[in-house]
Structure 1
Amino acid sequence: MPLNEIEQPDVQEWVSELTPGRRWNTVRTIYSPFRISMNATIKQKPPLLTASPCVGVELPKPKRRTRKRQLSGTDEEVLSRRPGPGGDVVGGHLHERYARALRFHRRTGLRPGELAGMHADQLDFERKEVTVSNVYIASRAVIRPYPKDEEDRVIPLLDEAIEAAREALAGRDLTAGCGIPYSDGSKCNSVLVFLSPRGAVVSPANYKGVLRRACQKANIPHLVSPYAVRRGFATWAKDRGVDPFTIQVIMGHSRLDQTADYVQFTEAARLQFLAAMKDPMNLRAMGPNDDLGANPGAETAGTTLDSAANGGHSTTA
């Protein structure tokens, strides 16, 4: 079509046809070269056009990003608690096998497929570490013997993660094989660490469904997913003072900005900032499962308890 025959309504109609089924930024990416070309015809000497048909064209507006949820320590405690018969305690009703998987997951930050495909021979309890290699590929129902970045990584294990894995493996023949084919045809001589209540693989889709149903039963307003657990690990590690490069390596990210997308701003981070900047802050008692900052003592560093107010507030010393 000759350039001088393209009119603004034609461009608007084209953009409107592009919009359905596409993200707002995709439409803008497609439209941008055309707009640049039209502007170039005006700047050219002598100009090919005296006006751009792109003037006044309405593009889809950027959508505000919703805040991604993370699974906190409090959420984990509620989800893992099971009410006794006839009891009125609110709990997530997670089966003990899923509760163990969740406990391990939040303390390692694994991808859902890495958690599902983890075998017993990947664990080294003496060195307190796990080699992340096998991944369960749900779309093909196979084990892929390498992670997303195609390079194994070794990550440390907290005591609670070791405890969860030991409980999951107790009384089982660890050399029985997992019964799932490998994508490269190799033979398996180990077992999956975590299994569903029926003894099947903890597939990411089923795991997600279980977590969401547990949230509904436990009256947790935000439905968590396996990636919310992964974000919970990254945020917890950051609040405990682990440097971002270590978190990046543990999570298997190739770039630091990927890791930054997983970290949430929490109350512990706020208190840590106030303590670092030497601002007075309120003190409160914290339970064993609360997410603390880099240095739990930092919350009281440089402060004195106001005994007249029963220790409820602090003042700068």
Structure 2
Amino acid sequence: MTVGLSDGAVQMLGRWLDHLRALDGASENTITAYRADVAGFLGFLGRHHGEGMGAERLKRVIQSDMRAWMAHERGRGLSSRSLARELSSVKSFYRWFSEREGFDATHVLSARAPRFQAKLPRPLSESAARDVIAQVEVQAAEPWIAARDAAIMTLLYGCGLRRSEALGLTGSDVPLPEVLRIRGKGDKERLVPVLPAARDAVEDYVRLCPYAPGPGEALFRGARGGALNPRLVDLAMEKARVSLGLPVTATPHALRHSFATHLLASGGDLRAIQELLGHARLSTTQVYTAVDGARLMQVYRAAHPRA
């Protein structure tokens, strides 16, 4: 049992997490983060008041409790960004809790998160993204491994897949269809168009790979035939980045950022890009509009004679 909480409060937390799994389709990583955030908050309240925090006591949390908790979190070195995330988790729990129990949770829901500068995604330029794919295609000693790495990078950039989604493909997915059904974060499904370049890259890899993937078996294999370790994708990208002189922000996930940013710059619809990326909220996708605007200002400042 979480320290300082009654069995009832722990059960309440468990029911909320079950609700997130069942109705919101939250991933296990998200569930783990929510559990840690809210349990930490509730545990602090128990220590702060020196009493067990049952469900009825949790209904009487006031503004001074919220201020004390946030001061405690900042005092242990938590950044503004991390504290804002924790507060968002706590509010989500209390929103569900108050609706279920029928009490006023204004003191919790009105708590203001500390301000922080949101980090913008760091996409590659179109030419740099193409260079990465070309580089990984020649840097591995084994031709089939080079083809494998190129196929993965092409899927990340050409289809906007997450690394885990690309590595989640199986023998049942080849040959790749024109539209691929992807199961992403939170077990959410989406349909992703497959470019001919991505289909060709995967076909080249399958033709060269010494391990024929059966239905349900991992498509992308390591040197010994097992499912490919995600870390090897990072290492291939790191090697290409160093060879091409790209910044440390040139990661496999940066190719997904590049997919979204380049689509938007070409006139892509924000809602359509949201669907292609599998974002649950449009606000997550809207960050790419800030990226595009930031790049435009960089060009303006560099080129305008009066800037």
Percent same amino acid at aligned positions? 21
Flag the structure with larger Rg: 1
1:106/1:166 CA distance change after superposition, 3 Å:
same
CA RMSD of aligned residues (A): 4.2
Residue of structure 2 in register with 1:229 after alignment: 255
Residue 112, structure 1, aligned to residue 112, structure 2? no
Q: Does 1:243 align with 2:269?
A: yes
User: Does the 8 A contact of 1:131 with 1:153 survive in 2?
Assistant: yes
The one-letter amino acid of 1:247's match is I
1:75 aligns with 2:101: no
CA distance 1:19–1:123, change in 2 (3 Å): farther
1:22 to 2:75 alignment: no
Secondary structure, counterpart of 1:22 in structure 2:
coil
Instruction: Report the Cα distance in structure 2 between the residues aligned to 1:257 and 1:267, rounded to whole angstroms.
Output: 16
Aligned amino acid, residue 207 of structure 2: A
Q: Distance in 1 between matches of 2:155 and 2:285?
A: 20
Q: Deviations over 1:144-182 (max 9, x none)?
A: xxx3232322211111111111112226699753xxxxx
Rounded to whole Å, the distance in 2 between the matches of 1:268 and 1:161 is 29
Aligned in 2, Cα 1:172/1:68: closer, same or farther, shift over 3 Å? closer
8 Å CA contact 1:71, 1:228 repeated in 2: yes
Q: TM-score, normalised by structure 2?
A: 0.54
Counterpart of 1:53 in structure 2 is none
Moved more, 96-105 or 153-162: 96-105
- Conserved 8 A contact 2:264-2:289: yes
Q: Is the 8 A contact 1:78 1:92 kept in 2?
A: no
* 1:70-112 C-alpha deviation (Å, 9 max, x unpaired): 13322223323459xxxxxxx9836332122101220111121
Q: Which runs of 5+ in 1 are unaligned?
A: 2-10, 31-59, 84-90, 134-146, 178-188, 275-280, 283-317
Task: Give a deviation string over 1:176-215, Cα, whole Å, max 9, x none.
Answer: 53xxxxxxxxxxx244333345544333333223312321
Distance 2:192 2:263 in 1: 13
Match of 2:186 in 1: 149
Q: Determine which of 215, 229, 232 is the counterpart of 1:206.
A: 232
Consecutive unaligned residues in structure 2, runs of 5 or more? 1-47, 49-66, 88-112, 141-145
TM-score, normalized by length of structure 1? 0.52
Task: Look up the equivalent residue of 1:75 and give its one-letter code.
Answer: A
Q: Using the alignment, how far apart are the partners of 1:110 and 1:100 within structure 2?
A: 12
Q: State the AA in 1 paired with 2:161.
A: L
Between the aligned partners of 1:69 and 1:226, the Cα distance in structure 2 is 11
| Mapped pair 1:97 → 2:145 | no
Letter in 1 for 2:75: T
Contact 1:106/1:229 (CA < 8 Å) preserved in 2? yes
Q: Compared with structure 1, are the counterparts of its residues 63 and 98 closer, same or farther at alpha carbon in structure 2 (3 Å cutoff)? A: same
How far apart are the structure 2 equivalents of 1:194 and 1:263?
A: 33
Q: How many residues align?
A: 206
Query: Within 2, Cα distance between the matches of 1:129 and 1:154?
Result: 6
- CA distance in structure 1 between the partners assigned to 2:168 and 2:245 by the alignment: 30
Amino acid at match of 2:170: H
